[in-house]
Amino acid sequence: MSSNAPGATNPMLYDPIPEGQGSTTKRNQFIAALGICMAAVSGGTALAWTSPVLTQIMPKNQSDTSLLERESFILTEDEGSWVGAFLAVGAFLGALPAGYLAEKIGRKYTTMSLAVPYLISWALIIFASGAGMLYAGRLVIGIATGATCVVAPMFISEVAETSIRGALGAFFQLHLTVGILFVYAVGSYTHWVTLSILCAIFPVLLIVAMFIVPESPVYLVKKGRRIDAGVALKWFWGPNADTQSALQTIQSDLDAASGEAKVSDLFTNATNRTALFISLLLMFFQQFSGINAVIFYTAPIFQSAGSTMDPAVCSIVVGVVQVVMTLASSVLIDKAGRRILLLQSSFIMGSCLIVLGAYFKMQNDKVDVSNIGWLPLASVVLFIISFSLGFGPIPWMMMGELCAPDIKGLASALAVMFNWTLVFLVTKTFGMMQTMLGSDWTFWFFGAWMMVCTVYVFFKVPETKGKTNAQIQAILAGKQ
């Protein structure tokens, strides 16, 4: 064959690997997931940013005038709560356009474009002269974070081999926790403007990474670019990959779907409806696990256990536990399976919440709890470990696994919008629940939902470990 022949430069016009006899390498799949997840790290920094920052720009009491001497502006308690809440509002608004863009311009360029709102938002925050600019910055960064939650899990699920799809799927939540830990560690000891400048590094890294990572083979096949899809697969899966079989599997999955999806297809098709319903409920249970309540109470719980640690150090400890255990989840998820990790997560979290509620009830009733001061601390650590192994990463990953290729973008966008609506509601009503119900009943409320969750997962959530999209769709349709 001449060196100028098409097949000499394009491996898909002449693939020397006999069908069914190829071998794959996983290195580039992990590199791709790492690059894509720079968007997740950026989202994690956005999520955690208020934790160290609001303590710097909100006075502890009305008579504290020293803060105004150090800062160009300060926030009221109400303004501070809105700085936190605007991220959830933005995330809700960013989810649906991201699903649309991912289908129109591709996963690669949609992911790369997320760097733009991230950088705009950090610029607004860095140069903020009052609450208004912070609101705008938090709204824009929320849009980017919501879009990230749609595109990144979808992109990763489409480039990963079945054997490591779970491990790479957990990368999304892992890198969210890395971003959170970065803010906890750096923000506790730096000025909030310096922290914001450092956070802007990750969107720049995202742009660089996306120049290296090819487009999703699923998207390319969907657009009729089968040769480009084969080239992309060779990059992701290695030069000895059996791309013909992989492309045929992708094409079969797409052929089984109904083409361009409409919103009505999510509800009129029973299989799509089941996939969407499970995705939405997993998001519901993730937020009603009480994770935000437990994180909010971390410092008081450490103190009630007799700890004299600085609250900033408590936050860093929690961040480290989340990162380490989410990393453990990425190892376990393709060995143990999704269902068993979800079941342990909901049951153990529910038990921990009930124990925490009982502890605060005894404290409120003036019962001497000094001899069990270790109990709330142990409960909170076990809760975070269990969340990080199960309901932290798995709902995001299964969102990308359950849905057929034609409705994946739309269904993912709706699931993410639903998730962020719940984040907003839980965050804004948490203080009200504490006032009306007390700390004990607040924890018991979330604990009860976890017990309901355990029953639901046991009876209704299918195992997707090691299954192709076609096999998952058959399970959802009741054919397996």
Give 310-367 pLDDT, tens digit per residue.
777 878 888 899 899 988 888 888 888 899 999 999 999 999 999 989 988 888 888 8
Predicted local distance difference test score (pLDDT) of residue 67: 62
Domain that holds residue 158: 25-59+70-213
Quickly count: other Cβ atoms within 10 Å of residue 473's Cβ.
23
CA proximity to 446, closest of 374, 375, 357, 372: 357
Predicted local distance difference test score (pLDDT) of residue 285: 97
Quickly count: other Cβ atoms within 10 Å of residue 351's Cβ.
18
Predicted local distance difference test score (pLDDT) of residue 170: 84
The alpha carbon of residue 212 and the mean position of all alpha carbons in its chain are separated, in whole angstroms, by: 23
Q: What is the pTM of this model?
A: 0.83
Using 50 as the pLDDT threshold, list the residues of the chain that sit under it: 1-9, 11-14
Predicted local distance difference test score (pLDDT) of residue 4: 42
Predicted local distance difference test score (pLDDT) of residue 9: 45
Q: For the stretch 146-164, what's the b/e string if a residue is b when 16 or more beta carbons lie within 10 angstroms of its beta carbon? A: bbbbbbbbbbbbbbbeeeb
Does the residue 259 lie in any domain? no
Taking only Cα atoms into account, the Rg of the chain, rounded to an integer number of angstroms, comes to: 23
293 and 394 fall within a common domain: yes
Reduced to 3 states (helix: H, G, I; strand: E, B; else coil), residue 106 is coil
The structural domain count of the chain equals 2
Predicted local distance difference test score (pLDDT) of residue 242: 80
435 and 301 fall within a common domain: yes
- What are the CA-CA distances from residue 117 to residues 2, 112, 206 (Å)? 47, 11, 12
Q: What is the DSSP letter of 5?
A: S
The alpha carbon of residue 19 and the mean position of all alpha carbons in its chain are separated, in whole angstroms, by: 36
- What are the CA-CA distances from residue 456 to residues 282, 290, 318, 387, 423 (Å)? 10, 17, 28, 17, 21
Predicted local distance difference test score (pLDDT) of residue 355: 93
Rounded Cα–Cα distance for residues 464 and 480 (Å): 12
Does the residue 14 lie in any domain? no
| CATH classification of the domain holding 277 | 1.20.1250.20
Rounded Cα–Cα distance for residues 77 and 201 (Å): 30
Does the residue 219 lie in any domain? no
Rounded Cα–Cα distance for residues 181 and 185 (Å): 6
Predicted local distance difference test score (pLDDT) of residue 68: 58
Please work out, in degrees rounded to the nearest 5, the angle formed at the alpha carbon of residue 261 by the alpha carbons of 255 and 263: 150
Question: Model confidence over 139-169: pLDDT tens digits?
Answer: 999 999 999 998 998 899 888 888 888 888 8
Contact yes or no for 480/472 (Cβ under 8 A) = no
